[in-house]
Amino acid sequence: MLKQRKGNLIDMAEAGDFNVIVQGCNCHCAMGSGIAKEIRARYPEAYYADTKTVPGDYNKLGTFSIMLGKQFNIVNAYTQYNTAKYVGDDVFEYGAFELILKKLAHQRYTGGARFGFPKIGQGLAGGNPEIIMEMLQDFATKVSVHGSTVTVVEFKLK
């Protein structure tokens, strides 16, 4: 049920492929690297939604803020407290991500939602791809019952 594609997640959402983008964020309201940096530059409203939360609040883990857009929504999912300090440093909070996916599965827009994820947690957070992809597969199975789809987009320059 989980789809995988290569390209630019934001460009694909702008083309109508997704109506919900879910990106992983740390708890410090920075959005200064990775896909978050591109989202902040192209959709400052998503950054604004992030800044309406308390910077550095550990209790944000497992929650999210949302930019409600005209074409698509952007979900800032608080999946890690910090970014990894070195290659191999896994700071991804699997329990927080699981809780976020459970919450998203019960949101009002799940009926027919077209979710687009980057390779969430597998870059700057240093998360385990096998575990994360299994969690996304489970999420895709759950939301498919309501007509929703889930696609993971691996970034690729044109």
pTM: 0.95
Q: Which residues contact 151 (CB under 8 A, 6 or more apart)?
A: 2, 3, 4, 5, 17, 18, 114, 115, 116, 117
Between the two ends of the chain, the Cα-to-Cα distance in Å is: 26
Q: 66: domain CATH number?
A: 3.40.220.10
Provide the pLDDT for residue 94.
Answer: 98
Q: What is the domain extent for residue 123? A: 3-155
Q: What is the pLDDT of the chain when averaged over all its residues?
A: 94
- Band the pLDDT of 157: cuts 50, 70, 90: confident
CA distance 3 to 152: 6
Q: How many domains does the chain have?
A: 1
Q: Would you give the distance in Å from CA 8 to the centre of its chain?
A: 14
| Per-residue pLDDT reduced to its tens digit, 60-76 | 999 999 999 999 999 99
User: What is the SS3 string spanning 8-71?
Assistant: CHHHHHHCCCCCEEEEEECCCCCCCCHHHHHHHHHCHHHHHHHHCCCCCCHHHCCCEEEECCCC
11 vs 111, residue with greater confidence? 11
| Per-residue pLDDT reduced to its tens digit, 87-120 | 889 999 999 999 999 999 988 665 689 999 999 9
